A = this chain, B = another copy of it.
Amino acid sequence: MTPARVYQHPETSEIAMPKVLFALSEPLRLNMVRMLVERGEVDSIELGPELPRSTLTHHTSLLRESGIVFVRAEGRKCMIRLREDDLEARFPGLIQTVLNGYPAPVDDVDDVDDVDDVDDEEGA
């Protein structure tokens, strides 16, 4: 099992607030982060099934390089998950605070799984 593709990740201490905020400042990436919070580790393609592959790689790379997500290769595909512990250690409450202030797009209604590992509700 030699990992074919190796991904570079910043150390926890290297994660910088401006880079993280910039990564989160795009609705596309912010929705990706929300999905990661809700679903845990996901196949990269789930983050943007209708995006061109090179575009998707661009956004996932940016999320990875800013320290928001951890990426690992599994066979052909790559699995992506939020660096929850690292982010929580470095910027406590940030992700939750941001997501609370950014309503999920209503057009996404296909997640009917019992996903209540995330805490509490969103108002309005």
Contact = CB atoms under 8 A, between A and B. Distances in A.
A21 interface: yes
B97 A101 contact: no
Given A21-B24, A25-B18, A27-B18, A92 B97 contact: yes
A26 B21 CA distance: 9
Q: Say which size band chain A's interface belongs to.
A: 20 to 34
B17 A101 contact: yes
A56 B63 CA distance: 30
Contact of A101 (B24, B25, B90): B90
Nearest to A90: B101
A98 interface: yes
Interface of A: 17-19, 21-22, 24-27, 30, 90-94, 97-98, 100-102
Given A21-B22, A92-B100, A93-B97, 8 more contacts: A18-B24, A18-B102, A21-B21, A21-B30, A22-B25, A25-B25, A92-B97, A94-B98
Give 3 closest A-B pairs by Cβ, nearest first: A22-B25, A91-B101, A21-B25
